[in-house]
């Protein structure tokens, strides 16, 4: 079956943050001693992009970019002038579609206030605030450096600067949290009128401080009750769920994350960044990731040492990789997309599909891959059914 190239996005990893949170398993590094070499890092990002475009050839060069996402760490530690210089560099190397979504993650600590108009002028048209909770006690237990009042002030400051597309990250099932507390967080988020809310459960990830010293968390039944109640409240406020942990106002779904979930392509640049490209010439899906530590990444700008790994996805692994993303979408995806984005025939997943439908996990539709409400609750089991 022919492999058809999907839309292309660009992910940019900014690895530094003010303080590492105890639940965080991302490639982030707290500030210590001298300030990080922010300007040199932007130079290294552009050198990394140049090298990837050269290495990937026609699989990447000249393809229009639909979205750019600055993740971290805390990307807003980088001054607007540096973000502007980087985006100018991207535009000189790759075409951007008209109105391309450009997202910058930011934390509401006071250290970053007063920059939002500069980011907007640079071309960043969407902000994502890592708020997590509006309860000061819960923020303290999560290791956050901001207060609830500072979070509200930061969001309002961005809106005053002209931002009309804002996401708020919220967590639920926090240490010793009750249902009322989870709903109170949603109420305060809705009052700020963001266009998008990411609402996800706190989990204990390996190699984190919380995993080594677990806090008292609500059990699964209480966590599920929080999810259902908060989902209902968000719906009442005009935020439709379109992915397991994503809720948006009309026409404000995150373009960048939708491309991930639809098994789209993305270049990943920066320390620890991951990328995925479809090579239609060879019929393969290829993943590349960069070395994680900022010092090692900076030591070889654009050089082969920046690459932490690079390999095609084995055909036997493609069904699982595809379902790991696509089945998170509440509305599902067309069945035809599986063949177009993996190059595999439908027959490769026929047995797993039949079993999942028999269990009531997937909708009975020959043209659509979509989980049922039962399948959404047991999503990990549904996805595991597609392991070879």
Residue 159 belongs to domain with CATH number: 3.20.20.70
Q: Domain for residue 83, yes or no?
A: yes
Residues 140 and 231 in one domain: yes
Closest by Cα among 304, 282, 280 to 52? 304
Domain range enclosing 218 = 8-259
Structure token pair of residue 196: 């998008």
Domain ends where: 223, 243, 259? 259
Report yes or no: 208 and 22 within 8 Å, Cβ to Cβ.
Answer: yes
Residues 28 and 104 in one domain: yes
- Walk along the chain (388 residues) and give the pLDDT tens digit of each residue: 789 999 999 999 999 998 889 999 888 998 888 899 999 999 999 999 999 999 999 999 999 999 999 999 999 999 999 999 999 999 999 999 999 999 999 998 754 555 899 999 999 999 999 999 999 999 999 999 999 999 999 999 999 999 999 999 999 999 999 999 999 999 999 999 999 999 999 999 999 999 999 999 999 999 999 999 999 999 999 999 999 999 999 999 999 999 999 999 999 999 999 999 999 999 999 999 999 999 999 998 999 999 999 999 999 999 999 999 999 999 999 999 999 999 999 999 999 999 999 999 999 998 999 999 999 999 999 999 999 7
Q: Domain for residue 282, yes or no?
A: no
Q: Domain for residue 146, yes or no?
A: yes
Q: What contacts 85, CB < 8 A, 6 or more positions away?
A: 42
89 alpha-carbon distance from chain centroid: 23
pTM: 0.96
Residues 117 and 226 in one domain: yes
Whole-number Å distance between alpha carbons of 293 and 279: 28
Beta bridge partners of 197: 168, 247
Residues 101 and 215 in one domain: yes
Residues 347 and 234 in one domain: no
Residues 338 and 248 in one domain: no
Closest by Cα among 212, 131, 203 to 174? 203
Residues 242 and 372 in one domain: no
Distances (CA, A) of 340 to 314, 320, 333, 366: 16, 15, 12, 16
Residues 232 and 364 in one domain: no
Q: Which residue has the tokens 């392991």?
A: 387
Q: Domain for residue 265, yes or no?
A: no
Residues 47 and 176 in one domain: yes
Burial of 27 (0-12, 13-18, 19+ CB in 10 A): buried
Q: Domain for residue 284, yes or no?
A: no
Closest by Cα among 248, 134, 147, 245 to 184? 134
Going by their DSSP bridges, the two strands 274-279 and 284-290 should be labelled as antiparallel
Domain ends where: 259, 289, 306? 259
Domain ends where: 236, 259, 282? 259
- Domain total for the chain? 2
Residues 327 and 250 in one domain: no
Whole-number Å distance between alpha carbons of 55 and 49: 10
Q: Domain for residue 286, yes or no?
A: no
Q: Domain for residue 292, yes or no?
A: no
Distances (CA, A) of 268 to 16, 48, 195, 275, 287: 17, 9, 26, 4, 10
Omega into 336 within 30° of 0, i.e. cis?
A: no
Q: Domain for residue 299, yes or no?
A: no
Residues 236 and 321 in one domain: no
Burial of 153 (0-12, 13-18, 19+ CB in 10 A): middle
Residues 323 and 243 in one domain: no
């Amino acid at each position: 079956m022919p492999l058809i190239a999907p839309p292309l996005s660009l992910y940019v990893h900014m690895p530094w943050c003010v303080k590492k949170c105890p639940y965080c398993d991302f490639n982030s590094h707290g500030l210590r001693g001298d300030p990080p070499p922010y300007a040199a890092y932007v130079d290294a990002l552009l050198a990394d992009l140049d090298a990837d475009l050269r290495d990937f050839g026609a699989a990447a060069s000249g393809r229009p970019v639909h979205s750019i996402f600055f993740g971290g760490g805390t990307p807003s530690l980088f001054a607007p002038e540096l973000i502007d210089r980087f985006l100018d560099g991207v535009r000189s190397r790759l075409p951007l579609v008209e109105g391309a979504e450009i997202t910058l993650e930011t934390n509401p600590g006071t250290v970053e206030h007063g920059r939002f108009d500069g980011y907007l002028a640079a071309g960043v048209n969407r902000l994502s605030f890592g708020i997590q909770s509006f309860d000061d006690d819960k923020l303290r237990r999560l290791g956050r450096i901001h207060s609830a009042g500072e979070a509200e002030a930061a969001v309002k400051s961005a809106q005053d600067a002209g931002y009309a597309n804002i996401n708020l990250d919220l967590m639920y099932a926090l240490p010793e949290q009750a249902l009322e507390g989870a709903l109170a967080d949603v109420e305060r988020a809705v009052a700020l009128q963001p266009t998008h809310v990411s609402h996800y459960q706190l989990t204990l990830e390996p190699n984190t401080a919380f995993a080594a010293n677990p806090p008292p968390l609500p059990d699964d039944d209480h966590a599920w009750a929080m999810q259902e109640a908060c989902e209902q409240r968000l719906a009442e406020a005009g935020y439709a769920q379109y992915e397991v942990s994503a809720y948006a106002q009309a026409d404000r779904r995150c373009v960048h994350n939708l491309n991930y979930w639809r098994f789209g392509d993305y270049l990943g640049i920066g320390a620890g960044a991951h990328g995925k490209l479809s090579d239609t010439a060879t019929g393969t899906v290829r993943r590349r990731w960069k070395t994680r530590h900022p010092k090692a990444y900076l030591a070889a700008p654009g050089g082969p040492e920046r690459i932490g790994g690079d390999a095609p996805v084995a055909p036997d692994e493609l069904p699982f990789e595809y379902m790991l993303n696509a089945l998170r979408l509440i509305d599902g995806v067309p069945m035809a997309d599986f063949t177009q984005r993996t190059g595999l025939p439908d027959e490769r997943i026929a047995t797993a599909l039949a079993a999942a439908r028999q269990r009531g996990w997937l909708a009975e539709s020959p043209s659509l891959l979509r989980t049922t409400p039962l399948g959404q609750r047991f999503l990990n089991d549904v996805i595991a059914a597609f392991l070879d």
